[in-house]
Amino acid sequence: MITPELFLICKVKKISELEVFSNGMKKRTIEVLALHRRKSEVFEISFYNKYISQIENLNKSAIYKIACILRSEVYQDKETEKKTYFTHLVGVYVIRIGNT
């Protein structure tokens, strides 16, 4: 099992459709409203392959604790050679902790 680096207490706002890539990898993304920060923030969390089953039964009226890892990527523009850095939240597991 992967060791989570970040936990979010949140409410689900949107659940995307399943994406299947040409290499066979599967991805499903959820948009959540983080509730444990001074200012509520919206985050996008992606679940891949075997972890997709963690979001099968999510509903928008519940509050969840979602364990995530951080995945960073660097994109370099071929023409300008300018680098852009991206950090993605990747979901590992979900625990329902209550209702709103």
pLDDT digits (tens, 9 = 90+) for 74-97: 888 888 889 999 889 999 999 999
Residue ranges with strand state E in 1-100: 6-15, 19-20, 26-34, 41-48, 62-76, 83-99
**Residues ≥6 apart with Cβ < 8 Å to 72:** 85, 86, 87, 88
Query: What is the pTM assigned to this prediction?
Result: 0.82
The pLDDT, as a whole number, for residue 32 is 95
Q: Which residue carries 């949107």 as its tokens?
A: 14
Which option is the CATH number for 6-99: 2.40.50.140, 3.80.10.10, 2.130.10.10, 3.30.460.80? 2.40.50.140
pLDDT digits (tens, 9 = 90+) for 10-68: 999 999 999 999 999 999 999 999 987 678 889 999 999 999 999 988 988 999 999 99
